Amino acid sequence: MSETIVQKSSRFLREVWIELHKVAWPTWEELKSSTLVVVVTVFLIAIFIGIVDFGLSRIVRLVFSL
């Protein structure tokens, strides 16, 4: 006989709870340093993409204005 949706949901939540106890959670210091790395990386990539976009748009304007 197949399980009901309530039984499946209950089993799923129990398994999730068990797996969450196996997770190696980072310390507060690790979390702060990792967050800083992500923010700086995103900022640098945004600057790079902005410069490339500006350059390419200037080139396109030059080509089409001829």
The model scores a pTM over 0.75: no
Rounded Cα distance, 44 and 52, in Å: 12
- Non-local CB neighbours of 26 within 8 Å, separated by 6+ positions: 34
Which pLDDT score is estimated for 24? Answer: 94
Which pLDDT score is estimated for 65? Answer: 87
Which pLDDT score is estimated for 1? Answer: 62
- Non-local CB neighbours of 34 within 8 Å, separated by 6+ positions: 26
Range of the domain at 19: 5-65
pLDDT digits (tens, 9 = 90+) for 8-62: 999 999 999 999 999 999 999 999 999 999 999 999 999 999 999 999 999 999 9
Residue pair 26/34 in contact (Cβ under 8 Å)? The answer is yes
Domain count, the chain: 1
